[in-house]
Amino acid sequence: MNIVVITGSAGLIGSESVGFFADKFDLVIGIDNNLRQYFFGVDGNTEWNRNRLADSYPNYRHYNADIRNAEELAVIFKEYNTDIKLIIHTAAQPSHDWAAKEPFTDFSVNANGTLNMLEMNRLHCPEAVFIFTSTNKVYGDNPNYLPLVELETRWEIDENHPYFENGIDEKLSIDHTKHSLFGASKVAADILVQEYGKYFGMKTGVFRGGCLTGPNHSGAQLHGFLSYLMKCAITGTHYTIFGYKGKQVRDNIHSYDLVNMFWHFYQNPKAGEVYNAGGGRYANCSMIEAIKLSEQISGNKMNYSYLEGNRIGDHIWYISDLSKFKAHYPDWNWTYDLTSTLVQIHDSMLSRLKAI
């Protein structure tokens, strides 16, 4: 039997992975205890998505386990052992602001939880491929020290800089900078996944995501940029822009395109490899540009205001360079641009809101 294990299976990337791999594996094991609701309240509740998965995929089996609890995980891994061929670890505490509120919780989920999953991999199914969703926040504030130029609706990097054409590559230092506590816990996990690949020779891949997005995101104010923005556009909920004149730029990758990267890696895995994973020059926007596009798609004028003072850990300009991944896996490419992604988010969210 071929089995894939997915943590955070009711979240954005986890649920996309369930749908993507359901017809490629005999059994899909989901591990998710809806901790996102604890982090973000009712907006973060993923129960609707868990129910959708159970209804949609007969070979999906859900476990309400906590990745911080090695004993709970061991019960699952001992049952399936070497039948597990792929582990996709997406479960995380994903917010800068929330991490500062409960540092022990943040670190135990992001760092200790990842260590637990790596040990389950090493002890029970060492030949399985391990994929980890890291973050561009491992680079800390280093992107903010690049030569940036203020334009009418966005910040942009100087056109003479090497990063101008394709964005930021994996060689940017993750050292000597402020990360936020969330960024620090993700750095710890990121390095652990690399080390298990390089030290133990395990097939581990680190994907440093930009802004991950898609229709199955339970977006909240503290996490889930485009999803929460579109929710505000549809409902008229007030939206706050924090700092940088609303011109901060983020690249956006659809959850399907990211999971498709996982699929390519699984078929030809490396040991402890690291890839930047975002929308790149193909799909990126500033806050101002995203608001304008959301208004056009929803047909509603947004209710928003600007608050001086950026969030700790927020990048002024970040666009991912995917050249390394595309060189290793030349058959991969993006399928969703920014507009098609936002239209999909809008239609999905409108349908869910009407059903409430």
Report the CATH number at residue 248.
Answer: 3.40.50.720
Q: Which H helix or E strand runs over 273?
A: strand 273-277
262 vs 356, more confident = 262
Burial class (CB in 10 A: 0-12, 13-18, 19+), 165: exposed
Which residues fall within 8 angstroms of residue 53, CB to CB, at 6 or more apart? Answer: 9, 10, 15, 18, 19, 30, 60, 62
**Quick count: other Cβ atoms within 10 Å of Cβ 26?**
11
- List pLDDT tens digits, range 51-68: 999 999 999 999 999 999
pLDDT at 221 over 70: no
Least confident interval from 84-88, 203-207, 209-213: 209-213
Q: How far is it between the farthest Cα atoms of the chain?
A: 57
Spatial neighbors of 326 by CB under 8 A, at least 6 apart, are 332, 333
What number of residues does the chain have? 356
345-355 residue pLDDT tens? 999 988 877 77
Closest C-alpha among 216, 21, 306 to residue 5: 21
Number of domains in the chain: 1
HEC-encoded secondary structure of 116-167: HHHHHHHHHCCCCEEEEEEEHHHHCCHHHHCCEEECCCCEEECCCCCCCCCC
CA distance 171 to 158: 19
Bridge partners of residue 132, in order along the sequence = 89, 206
pLDDT of residue 199: 98
Average pLDDT value for residue range 240-268: 96
Average pLDDT estimate for 193-208: 98
- By C-alpha distance, which of 192, 146, 158, 143 is closest to 320? 143
Q: What is the pLDDT of residue 351?
A: 85
In the chain, what are the helix, strand and coil shares in percent, each to the nearest 5?
45, 20, 35
Instruction: Look at residue 313 and tell me whether its pLDDT is greater than 90.
Output: no
Q: What is the mean pLDDT of the chain?
A: 95
Which H/E stretch holds residue 84? strand 84-89
pLDDT-derived band at 222, boundaries 50, 70, 90: low
User: Cβ-count burial of 173 within 10 angstroms (0-12 exposed, 13-18 middle, 19+ buried)?
Assistant: exposed
State both tokens at 76.
Answer: 């699952």
pLDDT value for 96: 84
Asked whether residue 84 carries a pLDDT value surpassing 90, the answer given is: yes
Query: Quick one: what percent of the chain has pLDDT higher than 70?
Result: 97
Contacts of 273 (CB under 8 A, 6+ apart): 197, 204, 205, 206, 265, 328
Would you state the pLDDT for residue 137?
95
Q: Is the pLDDT of residue 183 over 80?
A: yes
pLDDT of residue 266: 98
Residue 192 belongs to domain spanning: 3-355
Distance of CA 133 to the CA centre of its chain: 6
Measured between its terminal Cα atoms, the distance across the chain in Å is: 39
Distances (CA, A) of 230 to 69, 167, 215: 35, 26, 10
Res. 318: pLDDT tops 80: yes
